[in-house]
Amino acid sequence: MRQLVQLALLLAGAWLLWSFHFTPLLLVLGGLSIALVLWIVHRMRIVDHEATLVDLRNVRSALYPFWLAVEVVKANLDVARVILHPRLPIEPRLFRIPSTQRTPLGRVIYANSITLTPGTVTVDVDERDGTMLIHSLTTVAYEGLLTGEMDRRVADLEKDA
């Protein structure tokens, strides 16, 4: 039951953050959508202690979506700069980076976080050696992933679980 409540809070927070609509009709429709999703996952029996990665009471877990949103905005600006540049200075690369996540869900969050960031796409996740194959459009995107900051932050989420 605790996992369903956590999922409901996570879905409601994501819906409010991304839609930013507070009219009564849209709030009711959002609530009905969340209720439908909760009913479906409850019937499928896919919400349990193993599927719950994030403890919403922990500050790191609550701040990760905001940190990711800032990274997405910065990457958007970088890609826009490259596209608007007269010489289109793209430097595409295909490279492997290590992932330090312990759980499959942690690796999925990391891979999706990379793909959500403009200019980078996770092409493959190798479970054998714990690496991910990434395509980057610019040097800034490439160097940003090499710092390991995103990997560390997602791995920190797993410590909270």
pTM of the full structure: 0.71
Give the list of residues 6+ apart from residue 62 with CB closer than 8 angstroms, or none. Answer: 56
The rounded mean pLDDT for the chain is 87
Mean pLDDT score, 114-122: 95
The model's pLDDT over 42-88, given as tens digits with 9 standing for 90+, comes to 888 877 655 555 554 566 777 888 999 999 999 999 999 999 999 98
Pairing of strands 131-136, 93-98: antiparallel
Contact 116, 68 (CB under 8 A): yes
Confidence (pLDDT) at 58 = 64
Q: How far is CA 17 from the centre of its chain?
A: 14
Between these two residues, 14 and 145, which has the higher pLDDT value? 145
Please tell me the distance from the alpha carbon of residue 81 to that of residue 76, in angstroms, as a whole number.
8
At residue 156, does pLDDT exceed 60? Answer: yes
At residue 101, does pLDDT exceed 70? Answer: yes
Q: Which of 34-48, 73-87, 134-148 has the lowest mean pLDDT?
A: 34-48
Q: CA 40 → CA 47, 48, 92, 100, 152, distances in Å?
A: 10, 14, 41, 32, 32
Percent of residues, the chain, with pLDDT higher than 90: 57
Q: Is 138 exposed, middle or buried (0-12, 13-18, 19+ CB in 10 A)?
A: buried
Confidence (pLDDT) at 81 = 94
